[in-house]
Structure 1
């Protein structure tokens, strides 16, 4: 059953699933294949509880306790769909609710990690956002060039039909950007800011590759 959340509905303590080079945003959907024992336990506990899981990008650092480093801003999602496979995996769909900022890690006896977080900097995630200065046709055209350069494919007929906010967020998720570039997109102030940053990053890739090709010829 789908659920609508307000900021006051979200808990200050959430389980965290660190994943390299993967981000998602409020109102977007993230399918996950859960097979590691610690994250299977996390999923089981979430399904039995409030069905909330926080996603963050892992980075290359190691903290003082020897645990893998993570970025301090992520997005919490609600398990809209969950199924079990014959070999013991979980297939889930997370629906993005709000970004959050990590305050500190909580010691538990669980296999997975849990953190104290707050949402105060991301009130706009709960509101309908007006996007200024977006040219969807131009953005899609540039993204097509980027995908061609990296020999990637997607269903452009579907892409061309989505609303501007979903378009910006979806392209931020699926484009072949670096971890730091994706994190930069996640940490933007609002959807208008994200649109500007997304266009700058795509321009860098497309124009940069064109310049290199011109130099070769």
Structure 2
């Protein structure tokens, strides 16, 4: 059964779930996020998810890098619930998992729990539309892919262009928003975009701004 059949509306979603605070990592509906789990508290989180509803909320700390400074950093106000759709265990005791995005949530409250991992009460009402495919955005694919190509060249990165060019608009925009090495604030901005169209426009803007900054840096480099 697909996630749409399992969760036809927000009433079918769990009212609370464990959360994985991770700077620079966001999850979006219908996109898969691979994760390498090795900290004991998050190994316990995966065990609990496997024994329960198989769901985990991805959320960023409110301050970049805070999860390395505190066991309980303040959380961003919005994250995304994911279903644990793939799981394997390595010989050295790590878990390799995949979360498939279900629906964004606002943090209603953090729960007082005795588990080593954190849990929150989730409010989905503002994001009920996430449970069905987004309307086709007004997307200039040529402009987006051109900006992406320049961004990747500046950073000496590579992607599977055949997969990107064959992807639908929602999958293309959301996958890039999740997988590109953008800053934590930029990632959160993409997560918070109200519509897929707004997310696509913001993504293009971020990529083109990065290219502009690269050009400015080049112009400031003395001639040899």
TM-score when normalising by structure 1 = 0.93
Tell me how many residue pairs correspond in the alignment. 216
In structure 2, the partner of 1:23 is 26
Q: What is the alpha-carbon distance in structure 2 between the residues aligned to residue 130 and residue 208 of structure 1?
A: 32
What's the CA shift for 1:189?
0.3
Q: Deviations over 1:84-140 (max 9, x none)?
A: 222221111111000000011101110000001100111221122223320112201
Q: Are the equivalent residues in 1 in contact too, given 2:137–2:169 (CA < 8 A)?
A: no
Give a deviation string over 1:51-105, Cα, whole Å, max 9, x none.
Answer: 000000124387xx97212211011000111112222211111110000000111
Q: Secondary structure at the match of 1:169?
A: helix
Measured in 2, the distance between the counterparts of 1:67 and 1:113 equals: 8
Counterpart pick for 1:71 among 53, 73, 76: 76
Asked whether 1:148 is paired with 2:153, we answer yes
- In 2: Cα distance, 1:55 partner to 1:132 partner: 25
Cα RMSD, aligned residues only: 1.9
4+ residue segments displaced more than 4 Å = none
For the pair 1:132 / 2:141, whether they are aligned, the reply is no
Shift of 1:157: 1.5
Counterpart of 1:33 in structure 2 is: 36
Which segment drifts farther, 52-61 or 91-100? 52-61
Q: Which residue pairs with 2:167 in the alignment? A: 162
- Alpha-carbon separation, structure 2, partners of 1:155 and 1:20: 25
SS in 2 for 1:20: coil
Q: Is contact 1:2-1:80 (8 Å) kept? A: no
Indicate if the aligned counterparts of 1:14 and 1:53 stay in contact, CA closer than 8 A: yes
The separation in 1 between residues aligned to 2:71 and 2:168, in whole angstroms, is 43
* Runs of at least 5 residues in structure 1 that lack an aligned partner in the other structure: none
1:17 alignment partner, SS class: strand
Query: After alignment, is 207-216 or 173-182 more displaced?
Result: 207-216
Q: Is the Cα–Cα contact under 8 Å of residues 124 and 190 in structure 1 kept in the other structure?
A: no
- How many Å separate the matches in 1 of 2:213 and 2:178? 21
TM-score by length of 2: 0.90
C-alpha change, 1:215 and 1:88, in structure 2 (3 Å) is closer
Unaligned runs of 5+ in 2: none
Match of residue 181, structure 1, among 174, 181, 186: 186
2:111 maps to: 106
